[in-house]
Structure 1
Amino acid sequence: MNEPARWSLEDALVIRTDAETDFWQRTHYGFRADNGHFLSAEWTGDFTMETRVRFAPVHQYDQAGLMVRFSEDEWLKASVEFEPEGPARLGAVVTRGGYSDWSTQDFPREQREIELRVRREHATFIVEWRSVWAEWTQLRVAPLQGGAVARVGVYACSPKGEGLEARFENLRIA
């Protein structure tokens, strides 16, 4: 979905984001966006999806991570969003009924690598993260009622500019 102009696949998937791309729906920010880059596969039923993301952010809110999508109005994404001042934001966005919410926690701005995991257990989605080789830490538990079949995969966005380079390694969906 929304293939980026610049990407490659060799030992890892590397995406360089196009300008002003995002996934976001109606909140107090007053805008909607559904033009981020999303490489996905259709999946039925429960799953565990995980990947290692290495990223080189350029602009505020540059982000790369995992996404589960039923429709424009029902999805979740998990990533680190870059902030040029202060810590980055490790977070999960859950969109239900066309409205997005964003739960976050501080993440070291200088850290450029993270492992993310999303597990589906019926209609419940568990989002977890870890630094490389550390233990998994729960970030969010959220219900989504989109049905049995979902699009699952990796995504990247640059809401304020262009040029985030995101490298996805060891993507596994089972």
Structure 2
Amino acid sequence: MNRLLFVFVALSFVFGCRWFSGPAKNVEEANNANVPAVTPEPMPAAATPVPTATPSEGMPKGVVVDKVMPVKFEGGKFAAGWRWIDPDGEFSPTKYEFKDNRLTMTIPTTKDLYGGNRTAPRLVKAVTGDFQVEVRVNFVPTRDYQGAGLLIYLDGDNYIRLERAFGGIGGGGSGIRLDARRKDKYEPLTTPIEIPTITTNVNLKITRRLNMFSAFWREDESSEWRLIEDIETEFGDTVLAGIVACNTSEETEAEFQQIKLSPQPLQKPY
């Protein structure tokens, strides 16, 4: 009797444990089934690099021209305050030398100041207010395009070029040309067709009165200045004034002398 009772109790314990564990598992599975599956968060998209903005051209503080300021090349150096700029000089340098207070440039090809090509070598000084800038150029241009002369420069979209030249926009052979870029408009104001010359040495001058620039030329110092054209602009008070050389043909050489800044005269010099 006792043995039978023991067997009954043992069997009840075994089946009881199975019954208990079964529903618990089912409850756990049911609970897991009711929990929504967690969707993995997508990896964030790689950030698109933002191009670095190109700094705008800086304009140094300009000098007020209240006296004659001749440029002197002493000790093989550029005069104080004058900046030598050769934009692609790292790859195609413009050679230059000083001799007898003259600056000679040996200009390689592809040097220009037109459209997207702004690699022309230049020597400039920041000037504020009214002034005159002049130079005597010894240059024999023989190919289209070659030019050397004066430059008034605000930025890459605003400048004036007065050059002893050969060819260029608008045609012509050897002569004097005047070009201006004002914002998005580039204009050949005077071409060698209108002022032809084969003179090797010429004097060039640009004067400023407020926002009006006037361009002049003459063959030598004993000649009268001849007005080429007046150019009205919206340039700021301070601009870069100096000399420039352009060459899109075979290598050539230009000599500059008697570079000077002077006050604007009370009356136009013509």
TM-score range, shorter chain: 0.7 to 0.9
**Is 1:46 matched up with 2:160?**
no
Q: Distance in 2 between matches of 1:86 and 1:92?
A: 13
Among 29, 36, 53, the alignment partner of 2:120 is 36
The structural deviation recorded for 1:80 is 2.0
The structural deviation recorded for 1:126 is 0.4
**Is 1:74 matched up with 2:166?**
no
Alpha carbons 1:87, 1:106 under 8 Å: kept: no
The structural deviation recorded for 1:87 is 3.9
Q: Summarize deviations over 1:49-71 as a string: whole Å, max 9, x none.
A: 11110013352221000000000
Query: Which structure shows the higher strand fraction?
Result: 1
* Other structure's SS at 2:195 match: strand
The structural deviation recorded for 1:118 is 0.3
- Identical aligned pairs, as a percentage? 23
- Which structure 2 segments of 5+ residues have no match? 1-84, 263-270
Aligned in 2, Cα 1:100/1:86: closer, same or farther, shift over 3 Å? closer
**Is 1:22 matched up with 2:106?**
no
**Is 1:134 matched up with 2:220?**
no
**Is 1:112 matched up with 2:196?**
no
- Matched residue type, 1:118: I
Alignment-derived partner of residue 154 in structure 1: 243
Alpha carbons 1:75, 1:144 under 8 Å: kept: no
- Give the aligned length: 165
Runs of 4+ in 1 over 3 A off after TM superposition: none
Q: Distance in 1 between matches of 2:113 and 2:218?
A: 23
Alpha carbons 2:133, 2:206 under 8 Å: kept: yes
**Is 1:122 matched up with 2:206?**
no
Larger gyration radius, structure 1 or structure 2: 2
The structural deviation recorded for 1:86 is 6.8
The structural deviation recorded for 1:163 is 1.9
* Other structure's SS at 1:126 match: strand
Alignment-derived partner of residue 177 in structure 2: 91
Alignment-derived partner of residue 145 in structure 1: 234
Q: Distance in 1 between matches of 2:164 and 2:145?
A: 9
Q: Distance in 2 between matches of 1:71 and 1:43?
A: 14
* Other structure's SS at 1:135 match: coil
**Is 1:164 matched up with 2:252?**
yes
TM-score, normalised relative to structure 2: 0.58
Alpha carbons 1:80, 1:107 under 8 Å: kept: no
Moved more, 49-58 or 12-21: 49-58
Alpha carbons 1:52, 1:114 under 8 Å: kept: yes
* Other structure's SS at 1:107 match: coil
- Matched residue type, 2:256: F
Q: Distance in 2 between matches of 1:57 and 1:165?
A: 9
- Which structure 1 segments of 5+ residues have no match? 26-31
TM-score, normalised relative to structure 1: 0.88
* Other structure's SS at 2:108 match: coil
Alpha carbons 1:23, 1:33 under 8 Å: kept: yes
Q: Distance in 1 between matches of 2:209 and 2:98?
A: 30
